[in-house]
A and B are shown apart, each in its own frame.
Chain A
Amino acid sequence: MTTHLLRGASPLGGAATDVLLADGRVAALGADARSGADAGTVTVDADGLVLLPGLVDLHTHLREPGREDAETVRSGTRAAAAGGFTAVHAMANTSPVADTAGVVEQVWRLGRDAGWVDVFPVGAVSVGLAGTQLAELGAMAHSAARVRVFSDDGQCVHDPVLMRRALEYVKAFDGVIAQHAQEPRLTVGAQMHEGAVSAEVGLAGWPAVAEEAIIARDVLLAEHVGSRLHVCHLSTAGSVEIVRWAKARGIAVTAEVTPHHLLLTDELARTYDPLYKVNPPLRTAEDVEALREALADGTIDIVATDHAPHTREDKDCEWAAAAFGMTGLETALPIVATTLVETGRMTWADVARVLSSAPARIGRVDTGPTPQGRPVAVGEPANLTLVDPAARWTVEPRQLRSASTNTPYGGRELSGRVVATFLRGRPTVLDGAPVDTDLDGTDPR
């Protein structure tokens, strides 16, 4: 296997050093790295670049099986690599639903064969996401896919008894329930955040309380049964308060925020452009500020993309008829850099925590056959991302690698760009572009 020498990289934004990648691992740092390189070593000029552990997404919709017209495991993971990721958790709301060992193993194999990132399938909590009967959680946990994260994402596990049983049951294999917190009766027909803008533009409201009520219930359930709870795409200031309270109480709750909820607000609904239609909806500027603060102070543990590709026909229509969701894999790191690093509220070490080590730990993929989210240290797997923190670039939807173009950031200028990504020492991205054939000309995938 080709060895790589990263010259002058700054691990977590610290002092520049050289890093040698060999045999899938970080083989040496500093002077040892230079002396360890040989004639066959490929040198990557990393001067001025920040070296991060490969990013880990806990919330990706890859759409395969079922909606290969919007995204496939191959196209989605290629986009993920371009965004600096070396692992993604593939959500279960496919067709068929990933509610059996067979489907999760299929997704896992598709990911392994594509070779862009490690794909960790998320298993459904309930059969068919119907919210009535537990799916075979144990079978998925003990399958080749080794599922640890279970979610009915897209639907809320709203039945409190089913939620309690799920929280309890996954303790047997150290699993976690990732809840899409949305009280269904309070959000019938909901189109956007309920507030001043919805009142004016006449789109049915999705009230903050519909999210907060479920989170409040779930942290109490998690406390009662002593289980781990993960809250997906937390979007309101009130949700932050509940999670803060629960953590102070010692409840085993973790929470994620999406890049779009860190940047965009419900004001965008005034355009009626369904590119801004997402679930949970874009909230107010006050919510955005509360989410940034909570991410910086650790109340929110991680950033997860909720990458949700959709075909053009599902977005090229009136708002109410359009699908919920936006793509996000290739813009996640730049948005965190723009909203939190550039503003001085987070360091690159914090970025490594919220986009790599913490999501890997929540998903229990920091150990096992293909560990992710590990420190940048000698002997660790060489899952790495090089970021140019000074690069400013304008998002051009057609240049992104997802098979779908429903990004809300078209024309927006962002800071920070992924230059290279390595998956166990093999470059998946170099010079900012996916490596579609191996360096010796053969297709590694």
Chain B
Amino acid sequence: MTGLRHLLSAADLDHAGAIAVLDTAAQMAATQSREIKKLPTLRGRTVVNLFFEDSTRTRISFEAAAKRLSADVINFSAKGSSVSKGESLKDTALTLQAMGADAVVIRHHASGAPHRLAHAGWVDAAVVNAGDGTHQHPTQALLDAFTLRRHLAGGSDNPDGVGLDLAGTHVAIVGDVLHSRVARSNVLLLHTLGARVTLVAPPTLVPVGVEAWPCAVSYDLDGVITDQQPDAVMMLRVQRERMGAGGGAASGATSFFPSPLEYTRTFGLDARRLRMLPDHAIVLHPGPMNRGLEISADAADSDRSVIVEQVSNGVAVRMAVLYLLLAGEREGWS
């Protein structure tokens, strides 16, 4: 089986490919508990972090992953530079090509920008999508799946759930689905791994066309928690510009819900809803959180919250992705 050239979407991974990434990530995580964390695997290879959009947490996660594999890392922050107006994605790509990049990790505000970078013939490098517009964020979905697998599939003899998928688990993804690349990636990957997904959001924050997605949709968070007892709840960040009066609708755009208070009352995860969840259920959030809006401090800091662990798992998953893309062919990558 030939190796995957790029990771642009969670849809690029079939069941075997997804398991291979998660199992590789488990190996990578094991090395990270050692005293010397660095592996020589990607010595001499160059990984470029090309960020057209601010995301310090994602950039440092990829940077740590590449460095622990001994790759050379170049950070190219394009936001606010010539790129935003004059210099095109194409010219930036040609520059990276001339620099001999082996992999380009790209974060871009435009959906499909990584796809263009990979397929327009501008660069030879492997392209990793680190979040594009409202499209995809596949490594986020992988780290979420890794975290879910550890808590919901693994046992005492196999704490990371190596070799296992997420069959039989039910994950509720709550919040701004319409604008969320995290939701799109998770729906695809969790479905591939056999999990059942329910999206929960006000109807204004669910995209027209969602009927084609392999998941259920509900407008009733209390109903989902009470009646379906999900094994995990993933809270999505609600951006300020989606809010109503007082929330900063400075753009003049019509808000997607009446007020932050009404949103929190209806779709926020607070102590009461936390208590309604089954005992084994865990709480995820891709960060950064709006405490008091989509998630209360009680929920964010509770012992069910795996939000801090998601961050460390992110490094292991990104190590696995870079390793599998750059260190040659691996089984299960379609």
A318:B209 contact, CB within 8 angstroms: no
Q: Confirm or deny: B288 has a beta carbon within 8 angstroms of a beta carbon on chain A.
A: no
One of B89, B115, B209 near A195 (C-beta < 8 A) = B209
B89:A199 contact, CB within 8 angstroms: no
Question: Count of chain B residues with Cβ under 8 Å from any Cβ of A?
Answer: 28
In the complex, what residues of B have CB within 8 A of residue A271's CB?
A: 115, 119
A316:B208 contact, CB within 8 angstroms: no
A196:B211 contact, CB within 8 angstroms: yes
B88:A317 contact, CB within 8 angstroms: yes
Complex Cα spacing A321 to B132, Å? 14
Q: Confirm or deny: A202 has a beta carbon within 8 angstroms of a beta carbon on chain B.
A: yes
Complex Cα spacing A317 to B93, Å? 11
CB distance from B185 to the nearest CB of A (A): 10
Known: A188-B253, A320-B133. A199 touches B212 (CB 8 A): yes
Known: A188-B253, A200-B184. A207 touches B112 (CB 8 A): no
Residue of B nearest to A274 (CB): B116
Complex Cα spacing A196 to B211, Å? 7
In the complex, what residues of B have CB within 8 A of residue A194's CB?
A: 208-209
A202:B253 contact, CB within 8 angstroms: no
CB distance from A208 to the nearest CB of B (A): 10
CB distance from B168 to the nearest CB of A (A): 26
In the complex, what residues of A have CB within 8 A of residue B134's CB?
A: 202-204
In the complex, what residues of B have CB within 8 A of residue A202's CB?
A: 111-112, 132-136, 181, 184
In the complex, what residues of B have CB within 8 A of residue A31's CB?
A: none
Complex Cα spacing A135 to B135, Å? 42
A320:B209 contact, CB within 8 angstroms: no
Residue of A nearest to B118 (CB): A272
Residue of A nearest to B212 (CB): A196
Q: Confirm or deny: A220 has a beta carbon within 8 angstroms of a beta carbon on chain B.
A: no
In chain A between 316 and 332, which residues have their CB closer than 8 angstroms to a CB of chain B? 316-321
In chain A between 191 and 213, which residues have their CB closer than 8 angstroms to a CB of chain B? 191, 194-205, 207
In the complex, what residues of A have CB within 8 A of residue B210's CB?
A: 199
A317:B112 contact, CB within 8 angstroms: no
CB distance from A196 to the nearest CB of B (A): 4
In the complex, what residues of B have CB within 8 A of residue A198's CB?
A: 207-209
Known: A188-B253, A194-B208, A194-B209. A201 touches B112 (CB 8 A): yes
In the complex, what residues of A have CB within 8 A of residue B212's CB?
A: 196, 199-200
Complex Cα spacing A205 to B179, Å? 12
Q: Confirm or deny: A313 has a beta carbon within 8 angstroms of a beta carbon on chain B.
A: yes
Residue of B nearest to A195 (CB): B209
A199:B208 contact, CB within 8 angstroms: yes
Residue interface mask A266-298, B partner, CB < 8 A = 1: 000001110000000000000000000000000
One of B90, B109, B119, B184 near A316 (C-beta < 8 A) = B90
Complex Cα spacing A316 to B91, Å? 10
A272:B209 contact, CB within 8 angstroms: no
Complex Cα spacing A199 to B135, Å? 9
In the complex, what residues of B have CB within 8 A of residue A204's CB?
A: 134
Q: Confirm or deny: B108 has a beta carbon within 8 angstroms of a beta carbon on chain A.
A: yes
CB distance from A329 to the nearest CB of B (A): 26
Q: Confirm or deny: B18 has a beta carbon within 8 angstroms of a beta carbon on chain A.
A: no
CB distance from A397 to the nearest CB of B (A): 15
In the complex, what residues of A have CB within 8 A of residue B209's CB?
A: 194-200, 205
Residue interface mask A179-190, B partner, CB < 8 A = 1: 000000000100
Residue interface mask A298-328, B partner, CB < 8 A = 1: 0000000000000001001111110000000
CB distance from B211 to the nearest CB of A (A): 7
Residue of A nearest to B209 (CB): A199
A195:B108 contact, CB within 8 angstroms: no
CB distance from B286 to the nearest CB of A (A): 16
In the complex, what residues of A have CB within 8 A of residue B208's CB?
A: 194-195, 198-199, 205, 207
Complex Cα spacing A5 to B286, Å? 75
Complex Cα spacing A317 to B208, Å? 26
In the complex, what residues of A have CB within 8 A of residue B88's CB?
A: 313, 316-317, 321
In the complex, what residues of B have CB within 8 A of residue A200's CB?
A: 184, 209, 212-213
B253:A319 contact, CB within 8 angstroms: no
Q: Confirm or deny: B113 has a beta carbon within 8 angstroms of a beta carbon on chain A.
A: yes
A199:B90 contact, CB within 8 angstroms: no
Complex Cα spacing A299 to B274, Å? 58
Residue of A nearest to B109 (CB): A320
In the complex, what residues of B have CB within 8 A of residue A318's CB?
A: 89, 108, 110, 112-113, 116
CB distance from B8 to the nearest CB of A (A): 10
Known: A194-B208, A202-B181. A319 touches B90 (CB 8 A): no
In the complex, what residues of A have CB within 8 A of residue B181's CB?
A: 202
CB distance from B94 to the nearest CB of A (A): 11
Residue of B nearest to A313 (CB): B88
In the complex, what residues of B have CB within 8 A of residue A272's CB?
A: 111-113, 115-116, 119
Complex Cα spacing A197 to B210, Å? 9
Query: Which of A200, A204, A318 is the most central at the interface, judged by chain B CB atoms within 10 Å of its CB?
Result: A318
In the complex, what residues of A have CB within 8 A of residue B115's CB?
A: 271-272
In the complex, what residues of B have CB within 8 A of residue A313's CB?
A: 88
Residue of A nearest to B8 (CB): A272
Using CB atoms and an 8 Å cutoff, list the residues of chain B in contact with chain A: 88-90, 108-113, 115-116, 119-120, 132-136, 181, 184, 207-213, 253
Q: List 5 A-B contacts (CB under 8 A).
A: A196-B212, A203-B133, A203-B134, A272-B116, A320-B133
Other than A205-B208, A272-B112, give 9 A-B pairs with Cβ distance below 8 A: A191-B111, A194-B209, A195-B208, A198-B209, A201-B111, A271-B119, A318-B108, A318-B112, A321-B88
Task: Report, nearest first, the 7 A-B pairs whose CB atoms are least far apart.
Answer: A272-B112, A199-B209, A202-B135, A202-B134, A199-B207, A318-B110, A202-B111
